[in-house]
Chains A and B, each alone.
Chain A
Amino acid sequence: MDANGTGGARPLLEVDGVTLQYKTREHLVTATYRVSFKVWPSDRFVLLGPSGCGKSTLLKGVAGFMRPVEGTMHLNGRDIDRPGPDRMMVFQEFDQLLPWKTVRQNVMFPMLVSGRFARAEAEQRALAYIDKVNLTKFRDAYPHTLSGGMKQRVAIARAMAMEPDILLMDEPFAALDALTRRKMQEELLQLWADTRFTVLFVTHSIEEAIIVGSRILVMSPHPGQVKAELNSDVFDHAAQGGIEFQALQQRIHNMLFAERIEEDKAVAHG
């Protein structure tokens, strides 16, 4: 399958030996250490790892909010040096929508300010994508009147309407209740089946990674390093109870769990 990088001409996103650091008040934290991976067009590429493995920081790096201290990041062969609308980000937080704009205006806003679409076309596209995420009834509502799941849908519609080269999702469903989360995962997969966009998806849930992703980058914490890269294209919600699904889940679990034992030992010895 193309999506797994056998048939495409070249990777869309190339992250090569990237080390990311950020400063807190007292420490200089190394979030990721020499991480490399390649994302091919139409990949559903998942960054998976426990908290502290630098997966969100890595996503911020790809989004252009942080510059790597070492290594390179290229999108379509161009160096990533600043944030831009060719990489649309969907955040975990519900306040990512602009409260002073209606659903329709929120979806139109990036299309207008980036100058990529004229007003009439932006409006048409906005309505089409709002319809895709089943929010046509709420297109003139202000964000504060929507539920958490609806807000995330608007954010997804807003990002997708731009038709970015790559969609960046930072634990977009983590703050939702379990039922809504499952529904949103299904909808995302349905949208992917429709348009085959490329998405880089960050999560700490093994189950979500296997269901949503087609390829999973497993990362270890402190600092974040690549532990494995796995294929998971065959699994969806229906496969969840299956033996192979559980085997993969167990395998990833062991990878992350083994890390924790080593860490405990290190602490005990130190």
Chain B
Amino acid sequence: MAEVRAIRSAAPPVRPEFETRPGEAAHIGDAARPLTPWERLVNDTTARRIFILVVLAIAWELYARWVKNPLMFPSFLDMSEALYDNFVNGPLIDRTLTTIKVLLLGYTAGIAIAAVLTTIAVSTRIGTDLLSTLTAMFNPLPAIALLPLALLWFGLGIPSLIFVIIHSVLWAVALNTHTGFMAVSETQRMAGQNYGLRGIRYVMQILIPAAFPSILAGLKIGWAFAWRTLIAAELVFGVSSRSGGLGWFIFENRQQLETANVFAGLTTVIIIGLLVESVIFRTAETHTVRKWGMQR
């Protein structure tokens, strides 16, 4: 109480009034100036990421040379050589293509089913409950855990792989899309209805673009899930046919103690993941959600 009184009694000094004109700001420099090439390079996300990759590669090379055990840990250069060799002369291209083909099949099918489920979920309340319950049940279930069942139902081969990929994509994509739809602001919904939009036109023209950040995030997560599930599943039973995928390539080379090739296979998985993330998804983001200011 005493303190409060003390603060209140200390009146600020009376100061003279004045008016002024804004002066020249020339001494600070131009109001706007182009960035230097270095500043631009530092601002460029791709450049920064490539820098990180280079640093990682150098660290790898140095560590491997220090360990000197190519059987356990081949150097970056050994791996690069194996990678090149397997791409040009070996089976790596075939294996990669096989994997990507199966992956795309499963991924597209998963997204299609997710679209149907989400449409049912947004149009009816029981549909919402259905989707929530199914997602809560199956999303935590690792796709690989379903592999024995898939083998029982579909046998060794591509259908089993596609089954587990669908399982891994479906719930992630459906969950994200539905969350995105739920988060569309009441104002935007009312604006859309105000124009007389209803049914499928309302979903296509208002809900999907408004929920696009979440949908894109779902697609990204789904892609990553599909990728890991497939490689893991191939490790288990790429054996079935002669045209095995990347997972089988890795497994086969481990059996033969071709460790550099194992690393080459893993690196291929990583490179494809990086390319899809930084080229396809990033381009999609730049042209949509970033341009619209819905995401930084």
Contact = CB atoms under 8 A, between A and B. Distances in A.
Counting chain A CB atoms within 10 Å of each CB, the highest count among B188, B210, B291 belongs to B188
27 contacts: A63-B190, A65-B190, A83-B194, A83-B196, A84-B194, A84-B196, A85-B194, A85-B196, A89-B190, A89-B194, A91-B191, A93-B185, A93-B187, A95-B185, A95-B188, A96-B188, A98-B210, A99-B210, A99-B292, A100-B210, A100-B212, A113-B197, A113-B201, A113-B205, A142-B291, A144-B292, A144-B294
B18 interface: no
Nearest to B205: A113
Contacts of A125: none
A202 B69 CA distance: 78
Interface in B178-218: 185, 187-188, 190-191, 193-197, 201, 205-206, 209-210, 212
Given A98-B210, A144-B293, A91 B190 contact: yes
Given A99-B294, A142-B291, A114 B185 contact: no
A227 B163 CA distance: 66
Contact of A100 (B195, B197, B288): B288
A88 B196 CA distance: 10
A109 interface: yes
Interface string A72-93: 0000000000011101110101
Interface in B150-193: 185, 187-188, 190-191, 193
B143 to A, nearest CB: 33
B195 A114 contact: yes
A143 interface: yes
Contacts of B293: 99, 142-145
Kindly name the residue among B188, B196, B206, B291 whose own CB sees the greatest number of chain A CB atoms within 10 A. B196
A58 to B, nearest CB: 15
Contacts of A142: 291-293
Nearest to A106: B191
A50 interface: no
Interface of A: 60, 63, 65, 83-85, 87-89, 91, 93, 95-96, 98-100, 109-110, 113-114, 142-145
Contacts of A114: 195-196
A199 B284 CA distance: 41
Central interface residue in B190, B195, B209, B291, by most chain A CB within 10 Å:
B195
A65 B194 CA distance: 9
Q: Can you list the 5 inter-chain pairs with the closest CB atoms, starting with the nearest? A: A144-B293, A110-B195, A83-B193, A93-B187, A99-B292
A65 B206 CA distance: 17
Contacts of A110: 194-195
B187 A95 contact: yes
A173 to B, nearest CB: 16
A227 B206 CA distance: 39
Contacts of A100: 209-210, 212, 288, 292, 294
Given A63-B190, A84-B194, A87-B194, 4 more contacts: A91-B187, A100-B288, A113-B197, A142-B292
Contacts of B294: 99-100, 144
A57 to B, nearest CB: 13
A65 B187 CA distance: 12
Contacts of B190: 60, 63, 65, 83, 89, 91
A93 B189 CA distance: 12
A193 B31 CA distance: 41
Contacts of A95: 185, 187-188
Nearest to B208: A100
B263 to A, nearest CB: 43
Nearest to B291: A142
B188 A98 contact: yes
A96 B196 contact: no
Contacts of B193: 65, 83
Contacts of A60: 190
Nearest to A111: B195
A107 to B, nearest CB: 12
B209 A98 contact: yes
A114 B192 CA distance: 11
Contacts of A89: 190-191, 194
B65 to A, nearest CB: 50
B38 to A, nearest CB: 28
B187 to A, nearest CB: 4
B191 A96 contact: yes
A166 to B, nearest CB: 12
A135 B193 CA distance: 26
Contacts of A87: 194
B238 to A, nearest CB: 43
Interface in B275-296: 288, 291-294
Contacts of A145: 293
A155 to B, nearest CB: 9
A203 to B, nearest CB: 18
Contact of A113 (B185, B187, B196, B210): B196
